Amino acid sequence: MAARLVEARLSDNERFDWLRLIRSENVGPRTFRALIDRCGGAAAALAALPELARRGGASRPIRVAGVDDVARELDEARKFGVRFIAYCEPEYPPALRHIDAAPPLIALRGREEALQQPAVAIVGSRNASAAGLAFADRLARGLGQAGYVVVSGLARGIDQRAHVAALETGTIAVLAGGHAKPYPPEAAPLLPRIAENGAIVSEMPLQWEARGRDFPRRNRIVSGLALGAIVVEAARGSGSLITARLAAEQGREVLAAPGSPLDPRAEGTNDLLRDGATLCARVDDALAALEPLRTRASVGRMEEPRRTGGLWLDEPAETDEPAAAGPDEAGETAVGARVAALLGPAPVSIDELARVASADVGSVRAALVELELAGRIELSGGDRVALLTAEERD
Amino acid sequence: MAARLVEARLSDNERFDWLRLIRSENVGPRTFRALIDRCGGAAAALAALPELARRGGASRPIRVAGVDDVARELDEARKFGVRFIAYCEPEYPPALRHIDAAPPLIALRGREEALQQPAVAIVGSRNASAAGLAFADRLARGLGQAGYVVVSGLARGIDQRAHVAALETGTIAVLAGGHAKPYPPEAAPLLPRIAENGAIVSEMPLQWEARGRDFPRRNRIVSGLALGAIVVEAARGSGSLITARLAAEQGREVLAAPGSPLDPRAEGTNDLLRDGATLCARVDDALAALEPLRTRASVGRMEEPRRTGGLWLDEPAETDEPAAAGPDEAGETAVGARVAALLGPAPVSIDELARVASADVGSVRAALVELELAGRIELSGGDRVALLTAEERD
């Protein structure tokens, strides 16, 4: 059974535990959620981590984030004007809440209100043409004036131009690293200007330096914050196309600006159009695609928060139950061994895995959490899972 | 009941009569067909013209093309290497035969074989960009090599570039005027080169100088010859968009090359894409759209011609019946008066007209032929008809 969120505001202690849990080794957004579901809260999950990882076959003890490190990150965050908003809190961006692997916590600099506005992502090449930059500018201004906050990735070229054009109406920059290490470095002077009417968002530790793999991960937040993503210019294989793919997977509108068949910077956008993206050659094209979603989004806004202790479950959590030692512990370990033996490097669905393992899906999920904490598997989109090879584990 | 063609080869006398009938006043392709249906042949139709026009309410006698004028056109045509192919003959382009208001006769210079190949129209701005011209060149070469003959309108810019790129593999130029008055004049040196492996086609009198209204009329032949029309570059409101609209109305594939949102020369093509045209950014896009139609077209090729006297009807024509004096002549005149009174400048469908006039569709059609010969109405696509205003009649 999938957990469903009850909206709640975290206490300071709970927020500390949430941050500590998501900063612990092998805990990604999906495992975070599974742990809270299973253990009933972040504190209990933290207590259970070592035993769960051991049962998953970890070759050495799991590294739980240190209390001092977490306290230091919270302290530094305060100096940067950064605060943490949890998935279950009303300030969390409503569109982002609905994506697969939504970040449990986002670190926010700037205005919370920007996260509640309808948003549109405008992305494109770093190596943009003059026409592409001018069109990004026109789009960002027009959509800003129409009440949309413009989301992008702070990259050179189209991204920065979109941010700058929407400074007055509000723009959100999503960082691939932490707030203390914005990328690219020359965009740093832009950040306080963005924070004035908009926001800067990151899910990574404050001091995290962005690496290659962090950019596609970040892109899911760019598209996840928005009702739709507009790709202005993109060569084949460029990062903006990843944003477009993620937007489609998240059920968001994908729009692309057309370009000359002879311009390599338009190959990616023309490919998107060929594959069914909505053509965007003027502000009205974007509005026609987004306005119906905007209405729907506002209808779907969450109601007033209830205080329930920050749980993910509908059911009252049985917090007095020992976290990692249910009555069928031996049985679960047996399922874990069967599941581990069945997995390979090609991703399979959890349903299929349960069928082949002759186990119920709930037990398989529990076993997978342990295997993930042990660093042996990788959970991916569409409820699929794969064994990590030796190299990938490093 | 719509007439259905029986394939046949015309005798010299029949061809003369066909040419004389289509060159007569107020006889367009639709009326030509209705007259042949009604009278059983071109000779009988010519004999009936004056009486039919009088019954339609003509204010003066209809001008039937003179025997000398027709003889002179045939004679001059021979000197230009131009011959006339009739709708019912096997050399007539099969795709063109299926359009609304197909020309009863086309004047051909060049190779008949080019008219039997699968064809693609490539059209676009006269004021083309370097990239647009280069893309037209690439498309025409690629599609020519794939076995398509390239159809276009001989205009400066995209059209001429497409013709030149397809000179070796075969290209068809459709003239808006007659063969003796090609437009634009500077394209004249290109014509013998086109005729070598391809064809030049016109439905207009040999000495006809093209005027503004002749270009959209010509465009229906450009699209009608082809399985699909590719618009390479087009500003809003440009003639290439008329070709695209006609292609769509004829059930042909419409393709458009994308272009920068900031380039006015791409506004028309981007509009087409927005409206559902197939994106064409490479030769393969066109092939993917056209190849399935090509197979269908070749299956639909006509069989060996039968000699039946050049009739349009399935039924044996009752040629001994007096052409314009059936038993219900008085009744038809009454229908004609009712129909004329009901018509206004806004086009209405013939079915609707018959309903309001409380007459059967056959009688209404007969009355409309007379009204058209009298120069009082205009038949348009989709079986619609409108009264001509005083100014339009001049």
For residue range B267-291, list pLDDT tens digits in order. 999 999 999 999 999 999 999 999 9
What is the arithmetic mean of pLDDT over A158-176?
98
- Are A165 and A186 in contact, with CB atoms under 8 Å apart? no
Q: Per DSSP, which regions of chain B are E strands?
A: 82-86, 105-110, 119-123, 149-152, 171-174, 199-202, 228-231, 253-256, 278-279, 348-349, 377-380, 384-387
Strand partners, B149: B119
Q: Which residues contact A8 (CB under 8 A, 6 or more apart)?
A: A88, A89, A305, A306, A307, A308, A309, A310, A311
What is the arithmetic mean of pLDDT over B143-169?
97
Give CA–CA dist A158/A125, Å, rounded: 6
What is the arithmetic mean of pLDDT over A271-286?
97
Asked if pLDDT for residue A198 goes beyond 90, the answer is yes
Q: Which of A32-41, B197-206, B348-357 has the lowest mean pLDDT?
A: B348-357
What are the distances in angstroms from CA B356 to CA A132, B334, B370?
Answer: 56, 14, 19
pLDDT for res A352: 86
What is the arithmetic mean of pLDDT over A199-210?
97
Give CA–CA dist B305/B91, Å, rounded: 10
CB atoms within 10 A of CB B380: 13
**Percent of chain B beyond pLDDT 90?**
67
pLDDT for res A363: 87
Asked if pLDDT for residue A303 goes beyond 90, the answer is no
What mean pLDDT value characterizes chain B?
Answer: 87
**Of A362 and B208, more confident:** B208
What are the distances in angstroms from CA B244 to CA A278, A338, B117, B254?
Answer: 20, 62, 21, 6
pLDDT for res A221: 98
From chain B, the residues in CB contact with A257 under 8 A are 260-261
Asked if pLDDT for residue A309 goes beyond 60, the answer is no
CB atoms within 10 A of CB A305: 14
Whether the CB of B1 is below 8 Å from some CB of chain A: the reply is: no
pLDDT for res B378: 83
What mean pLDDT value characterizes chain A?
Answer: 87
From chain A, the residues in CB contact with B279 under 8 A are 258, 270, 273-274
Hey, is A195 helix, strand or coil? helix
Asked if pLDDT for residue B327 goes beyond 50, the answer is no
pLDDT for res B301: 42
From chain A, the residues in CB contact with B281 under 8 A are 261, 266-267, 270, 274
Asked if pLDDT for residue B150 goes beyond 60, the answer is yes
Contact B260 A285 (CB under 8 A): no
Which residue in the set A135, A270, A285 is minimally distant from B258, CB to CB? Answer: A270
What is the arithmetic mean of pLDDT over B49-58?
90
What are the distances in angstroms from CA A266 to CA A129, A142, A231, A243?
Answer: 10, 22, 10, 16
- Which of these, A385, A82, A99, lies nearest to A243 by C-alpha position? A99
Give CA–CA dist B266/B132, Å, rounded: 9
pLDDT for res B391: 66
Distance from CA of A217 to the nearest CA of B (A): 30
Q: Using CB atoms within 10 Å of the CB of residue B61, give its burial: 0 to 12 exposed, 13 to 18 middle, 19+ buried.
A: exposed
For residue B250, name the pLDDT band (cuts at 50, 70, 90).
Answer: very high
From chain B, the residues in CB contact with A266 under 8 A are 258, 260, 281
Give CA–CA dist A318/B242, Å, rounded: 71
- Are B73 and B107 in contact, with CB atoms under 8 Å apart? no
- DSSP structural state of residue A236: T
From chain B, the residues in CB contact with A270 under 8 A are 258, 279, 281
Contact A280 B261 (CB under 8 A): yes
What is the arithmetic mean of pLDDT over B218-231?
97
- The b-or-e profile of A150-166 (16+ CB within 10 A means b, else e) is bbbbbbebbbbbbbbbb
pLDDT for res B184: 94
pLDDT for res A282: 97
**Percent of chain B beyond pLDDT 70?**
87
pLDDT for res B307: 36
pLDDT for res B331: 59
The model carries a pTM of 0.81
Asked if pLDDT for residue A323 goes beyond 80, the answer is no
Give CA–CA dist A257/B319, Å, rounded: 62
Distance from CA of B164 to the nearest CA of A (A): 20
pLDDT for res A1: 34
Whether the CB of A260 is below 8 Å from some CB of chain B: the reply is: yes
Asked if pLDDT for residue B324 goes beyond 80, the answer is no
pLDDT for res B303: 38
Whether the CB of A141 is below 8 Å from some CB of chain B: the reply is: no
Closest residue on chain B to A137 (Cα):
B262
How many contacts, defined by CB atoms under 8 Å, are there between A and B? 69
pLDDT for res B330: 57
- Is the ipTM higher than 0.95? The answer is no
For residue B319, name the pLDDT band (cuts at 50, 70, 90).
Answer: very low
